[in-house]
Amino acid sequence: MAVFTQKRPRRLRRASLAIGTIAVAGLALTGCGLQPATSFVPAVASGSIKPVDGLPEDAAITVTAKNFTEQLVLGKIAVLAATAAGFEVTDMTNVPGSVAVRQLMLEGQADMTYEYTGTAWLTYLGEDAGIPDQAEQYEAVRDADAENGLTWLPPAPLNNTYAMAVRSEAVPELGGITTLSQIAELPVDQRTFCVEAEFNSRADGFKPMLEHYGLTLGSPDGVPTSNVSILDTGTVYTATDRGRCNFGEVFTTDGRIDSLDLSVLDDDQGFFPAYNAAPVLSSKTLEEYPQLADVYDAISPALTDTELRQLNLRVDVGGEEPADVAFDWMVTQGFISRP
């Protein structure tokens, strides 16, 4: 069985200059659960992903990703997959900020990234409102970005969007609640919420969510303001777990959902925009190496909310390196094997 290690990519100097420029321009790193990432990934042996037949010896791509946990894990998965397929890979993960990653892709400094449909639609393409239907949101982004020289492959099931969660032990006390629409059926004194300041003020955030589900913020028979705790970033999860409120704002792929045994309520009336992750490639690169579509299309169906919560948990709570977590997952799924 062949063993693959990262070769010295032909675009390394250009990529290094680009990342250096970005680092100077944006020294403040943001994101949830930041972890250091380097260009290191473990050596790769073939699994279901095998070297592409007839691939030129100097075939090379550059993979980029943002600098928060989930993106680091996805970026390492992308690097490992391309390496197993026989490409020389420049690992340009851990880039500060969404806009910087976007520029790398648009300017041809990077060839591949995992991006979120809602982020592209609202942040990059400047649309005023997201599309809750996941298929419609993907198709809208795919079609719009084709004009920008970017090809969106079919998205993964993972949808890293907003949600409301409840501590699992409180579910029976709240009538076995499983959906957002059931909150309106509870007594007013049980409609208590923990949210971050940003979510409280967003156009797709707390107040519009309540209105979508038939509740009015500030109304005595809806959700009185005294029922709402505005908390700092990162404390909503623990506050919800400790019973400060019944319902807390979460992101659907955050590892703390599992570590704190929170239950995510189903957005049964489709309020929140879709944020499915999808492989995005330079159209020129994909035209040169169409086999990359098969490589990443094989991985996407396995990237679910449940899987990413566990992978994110291993980094954020377990302290493991994103590259090691990505490698173990790829081996477990059979995409690659250990040398």
* Per-residue pLDDT in tens (0 to 9) along the chain, 339 residues: 444 333 333 333 334 334 444 443 333 333 333 333 456 778 888 899 999 999 999 999 999 999 999 999 999 999 999 999 999 999 999 999 899 999 999 999 999 999 999 999 999 999 988 999 999 999 999 999 999 999 999 999 999 999 999 999 999 999 999 999 999 999 999 999 999 998 998 878 999 999 999 999 999 999 999 999 999 878 999 999 999 999 999 999 999 999 999 999 999 999 999 999 999 999 999 999 999 999 999 999 999 999 999 999 999 999 999 999 999 999 999 999 998
187 and 155 belong to one structural domain: no
Q: Could you tell me which residues are beta bridge partners of residue 152?
A: 280
260 and 202 belong to one structural domain: yes
Planar angle of CA 119, 261, 226, nearest 5 degrees: 75
Q: What is the pLDDT of residue 38?
A: 53
Planar angle of CA 74, 80, 85, nearest 5 degrees: 130
Q: What is the pLDDT of residue 33?
A: 38
Q: Is residue 27 part of a domain?
A: no
Q: Is residue 260 part of a domain?
A: yes
Planar angle of CA 220, 265, 70, nearest 5 degrees: 125
61 and 170 belong to one structural domain: no
175 and 236 belong to one structural domain: yes
155 and 187 belong to one structural domain: no
Say if CB 73 and CB 312 are below 8 A apart. yes
Domain closes at, from 222, 242, 264 = 264
Range of the domain at 239: 162-264
Q: What is the pLDDT of residue 39?
A: 62
Order of strands across the sheet that contains 262-264: 228-231, 193-196, 247-251, 162-167, 262-264
* 222 CB burial (10 A radius; 0-12, 13-18, 19+): middle
Q: Which two tokens stand for residue 38?
A: 């380097």
Q: What is the pLDDT of residue 139?
A: 98
100 and 249 belong to one structural domain: no
HSE-CB for 102 with a 13 A CA cutoff: 13
Say if CB 45 and CB 3 are below 8 A apart. yes
167 and 56 belong to one structural domain: no
Radius of gyration in angstroms for the set of CA atoms belonging to the chain, rounded to a whole number: 21
The CATH code of the domain that includes 189 is 3.40.190.120
Say if CB 303 and CB 277 are below 8 A apart. yes
Long-range contacts of 22-27 (CB under 8 A, 24+ apart): 22/95, 22/96, 22/100, 22/103, 22/104, 23/96, 25/100, 26/96, 26/97, 26/100, 27/96
Tell me how far apart the alpha carbons of residues 183 and 217 are, in angstroms, rounded to a whole number: 13
192 and 62 belong to one structural domain: no
Q: Is residue 244 part of a domain?
A: yes
The CATH code of the domain that includes 280 is 3.40.190.10
Q: Is residue 308 part of a domain?
A: yes
**Crossing angle for the helix pair 69-84 and 305-316, to the nearest 10 degrees:** 110
Q: Is residue 31 part of a domain?
A: no
Residue 172, Cβ neighbours under 10 Å: how many?
A: 9
Residue 292, Cβ neighbours under 10 Å: how many?
A: 26
**Residue type for position 278:** A
Q: Is residue 199 part of a domain?
A: yes
Specify the residue for token string 């309020």: 271
Residue 271, Cβ neighbours under 10 Å: how many?
A: 18
97 and 7 belong to one structural domain: yes
Q: How many domains does the chain have?
A: 2
Q: Is residue 34 part of a domain?
A: no
45 and 126 belong to one structural domain: yes
Q: Which helix (H) or strand (E) holds 25?
A: helix 12-25
Domain closes at, from 234, 264, 294 = 264
259 and 310 belong to one structural domain: no
Domain closes at, from 264, 285, 309 = 264
Tell me how far apart the alpha carbons of residues 13 and 296 are, in angstroms, rounded to a whole number: 26
Tell me how far apart the alpha carbons of residues 323 and 207 are, in angstroms, rounded to a whole number: 39
Q: Is residue 89 part of a domain?
A: yes
The secondary structure of the chain in percent helix, strand, coil, rounded to multiples of 5, reads 40, 20, 40
255 and 294 belong to one structural domain: no
Say if CB 308 and CB 73 are below 8 A apart. yes
